[in-house]
């Protein structure tokens, strides 16, 4: 018997985390998979699809310049209706907390199609942090039939919200599957600023793009980076700058031309993974990078006031610092001065899984369907 599944994704992080599941389905004779790309993030999504050799069966092409959440939600919802009606899958898979994931789950619910939620149960208990992701994932939890929680902490969040234990499963996080798969490949050429390093420098990797950090919080982050290169002459900072104009404008205004701070656009994921592996410290407001840092044993400063990934904080790998310049500088300096920081974290097992999450998800779906 064949199980017909539809996978809905629209952003680079979704594609990275769902790629192991889709590839596992393609290898499994039980599953017939239809991949639906919303195109919420166009260029960044396409790069990951090529990396994993994934070819959407449908593409909604919803991305527009300066698109709003209203635009994305309505276009994804309306675009999915005729596709799901035509394909009539037995299950729709969505991942995480994007607007594409929420609209995908809602469209499936409207058509009475069961929903499977990959990376379920993450919570900050603050509906505006991160925005709109915290509410997106809570609403997906109300719509989903099966919840694939990455950790026991995430599982317990769902159980406290009244979701039946028979529908919640701890699988690990599929990002670990993707990360390990990429690290097994030969290292690609690294960007010119990194390729020129002699090995005596210490590389610090930075990403920041959350809506709640736009404007003054991002400027404070940039000021902290200037202070760090002033304080540590052997530190080189690579800032992978998000494509959104509000991020680009502030970062380039604050950091353009500063010695030992290199500004790059988003780099291909396989390149990014190898840069992560070479870094001694990571500063980020990204959720996925928090998980990747833990999987690689790399200390990371979380540039947010709250995180839905407290397991990494409890493991001593993630450090929640917010966006105040003085807090960022103080914690980064502490870690950079402690030459044993990497060794202390590197041996600790990642709380986010062993790289076999996709296998567990498929096994559970086979049993339920």
Q: pLDDT 10s per residue in the chain (369 long)? A: 689 999 999 999 999 999 999 999 999 989 999 999 998 877 778 999 999 999 999 999 988 887 899 999 999 999 999 999 999 999 999 999 999 999 999 999 999 999 999 999 999 999 998 999 999 999 999 999 999 999 999 999 999 999 999 999 999 999 999 999 999 998 888 888 777 877 788 999 999 988 899 999 999 999 999 999 999 999 999 999 988 889 999 999 999 999 999 999 878 899 999 999 999 999 999 988 999 999 999 999 999 999 999 999 999 999 999 999 999 999 999 999 985 444 444 446 789 999 999 999 999 999 999
Closest CA to 117 of 74, 73, 80, 154: 154
The CATH number of domain 192-346 is 2.60.40.1120: no
Tell me, what's the pLDDT at 348?
A: 62
Q: How many Å separate Cα 329 from the centre of its chain? A: 25
Preceding amide of 198 cis, omega within 30: no
User: Do residues 127 and 97 lie in contact, with contact meaning Cβ atoms separated by under 8 Å?
Assistant: no
User: Strand order in 91-95's β-sheet?
Assistant: 58-59, 31-37, 3-9, 91-95, 115-118, 146-149, 168-170
Tell me, what's the pLDDT at 339?
A: 54
Q: For the chain, give every residue range classified as CATH 3.40.50.2000.
A: 3-173+353-368, 192-346
How far is it, in rounded angstroms, from Cα 364 to Cα 328? Answer: 42
Tell me, what's the pLDDT at 342?
A: 47
Tell me, what's the pLDDT at 311?
A: 93
HEC string for the chain: CCEEEEEEECCHHHHHHHHHHHHHHHHCCCEEEEEEECCCCHHHHHHHHHHCCCCCCEECCCCCCCCCHHHHHHHHHHHHHHHHHHHCCCEEEEECCCHHHHHHHHHHHHCCCCEEEECCCCCCCCCCCCCCHHHHHHHHHHHCCEEEECCHHHHHHHHHCCCCHHHEEECCCHHHHHHHHHHCCCCCCCCHHHHCCCCCCEEEEEECCCHHHCCHHHHHHHHHHHHHHHHCCCEEEEEECCCCHHHHHHHHHHHCCCCCEEEECCCCHHHHHHHHHHCCEEEECCHHHHHHHHHHCCCEEECCCCCCCHHHHHCCCEEECCCCHHHHHHHHHHHHHCCCHHHHHHCCCCCCCCCCHHHHHHHHHHHHC
Closest CA to 293 of 341, 229, 329, 337: 341
Architecture category of domain 3-173+353-368 in CATH = 3-Layer(aba) Sandwich (3.40)
Give the residue numbers marked as catalytic.
97, 119, 133, 209, 211, 242
Tell me, what's the pLDDT at 292?
A: 94
Q: How many Å separate Cα 86 from the centre of its chain? A: 31
Tell me, what's the pLDDT at 44?
A: 78
User: Do residues 10 and 33 lie in contact, with contact meaning Cβ atoms separated by under 8 Å?
Assistant: no
Tell me, what's the pLDDT at 341?
A: 46
């Amino acid at each position: 018997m064949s199980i017909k599944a539809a996978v809905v994704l629209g952003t680079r992080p979704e594609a990275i985390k769902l790629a192991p599941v889709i590839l596992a389905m393609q290898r499994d004779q039980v599953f017939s998979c239809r991949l639906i790309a919303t195109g919420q993030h166009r260029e960044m999504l396409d790069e990951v699809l090529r990396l994993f050799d994934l070819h959407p069966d449908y593409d909604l092409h919803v991305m527009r310049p300066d698109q709003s959440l209203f635009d994305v939600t309505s276009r994804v919802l309306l675009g999915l209706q005729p596709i799901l009606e035509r394909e009539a899958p037995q299950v729709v898979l969505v991942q995480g907390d994007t607007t594409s994931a929420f609209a995908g789950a809602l469209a499936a619910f409207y058509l009475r199609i069961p929903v499977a939620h990959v990376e379920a149960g993450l919570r900050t208990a603050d509906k505006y942090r991160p925005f709109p992701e915290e509410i997106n994932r809570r609403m997906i939890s109300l719509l989903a039939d099966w919840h694939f929680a990455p950790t026991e902490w995430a599982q317990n969040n769902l159980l406290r919200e009244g979701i039946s234990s028979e529908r919640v499963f701890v699988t690990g996080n599929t990002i670990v599957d993707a990360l390990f798969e990429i690290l097994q490949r030969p290292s690609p050429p690294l960007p010119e600023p990194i390729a020129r390093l002699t090995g005596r420098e210490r590389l610090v990797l930075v990403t920041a793009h959350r809506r709640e950090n736009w404007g003054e919080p991002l400027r404070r982050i940039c000021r902290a980076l200037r202070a760090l290169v002033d304080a540590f002459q052997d530190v080189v900072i690579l800032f992978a700058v998000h494509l959104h104009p509000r991020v680009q404008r502030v970062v380039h205004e604050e950091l353009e031309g500063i010695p030992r701070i290199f500004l790059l656009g988003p780099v291909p994921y396989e390149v990014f993974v190898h840069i992560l592996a070479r870094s001694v410290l990571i500063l980020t407001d990204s959720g996925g990078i928090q998980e990747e840092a833990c999987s690689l044993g790399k200390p990371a400063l979380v540039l947010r006031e709250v995180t839905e990934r407290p397991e990494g904080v409890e493991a001593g790998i993630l450090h929640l610092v917010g966006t105040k310049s003085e807090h960022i500088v103080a914690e980064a300096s502490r870690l950079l001065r402690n030459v044993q920081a990497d060794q202390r974290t590197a041996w600790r097992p990642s709380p986010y899984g062993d790289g076999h999450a996709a296998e567990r998800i498929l096994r559970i779906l086979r049993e339920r369907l």
